[in-house]
Amino acid sequence: MRHLLLALPFALLPLAAAQAHDDHDHEHGSLGAHEHGVASLNVALDGQALELQIDSPAMNFVGFEHAAKSDADKAKVAAAKAELEKPIELFGLAAGACQVTKQELESPLFGEHDHHHEDEAHEHEHADANEHEHEHSDIEASYQLSCKQVDALKQLDLSELFKRFPATQKIQVQLIGPSGQQGVELTPAQPRLSF
């Protein structure tokens, strides 16, 4: 009986650890959740077709997440949108002779009220507080490009993105390319990823 009681805390340890992990994920978010300073980027290179999709808290790109009411806030939103309309510069794609064939920029801050991609957990957490209904605004940008010199396209370089949006501290990248699939965290100090 004594051995069973001694073994019980060790038997329950994995359950406690799993519960603590689940609680941590719910409180602080897991990969892909809304976290200031962090963005996610999906990249797929197939032949000459290159697709990129970045999802970031608006805080990283404009410095706030509320609706832009003042002229200064509206100017910040317009400036961020203008920067996001230059994917070849932002992602260091000049070497591939790439041209944008399609791009979509979406955010409640851009005045598009039909898209609400807020994390359900955040919606649930803030359901009682109506004044915080849009507290977590994201900016999503999707790009389709055609690259004529794919062989010259050796890497993704986010140096410009980090420079133009300094509140972005890390970007979780999922890349599918000629070398297979890879996932990596890029930072201002380590902004490049080879295809």
> Over the stretch 153-193, which tens digit does the pLDDT of each residue have?
989 999 999 999 999 999 999 999 988 999 999 999 999 99
Task: Record the pTM.
Answer: 0.72
| Per-residue H/E/C for the chain | CHHHHHHHHHHHHHHHHHHHHHHHHHHHCCCCCCCCCEEEEEEEEECCEEEEEEEEEHHHHHCCCCCCCCHHHHHHHHHHHHHHCCHHHHCCCHHHCEEEEEEEEECHHHCCCCCCCCCHHHHHHCCCCHHHCCCCCEEEEEEEEEECCHHHCCEEECHHHHHHCCCCCEEEEEEEECCEEEEEEECCCCCEEEC
> Over the stretch 14-56, which tens digit does the pLDDT of each residue have?
333 333 333 333 333 334 467 899 999 999 999 999 999 999 9
> Over the stretch 120-156, which tens digit does the pLDDT of each residue have?
333 333 333 333 444 679 999 999 999 999 989 989 9
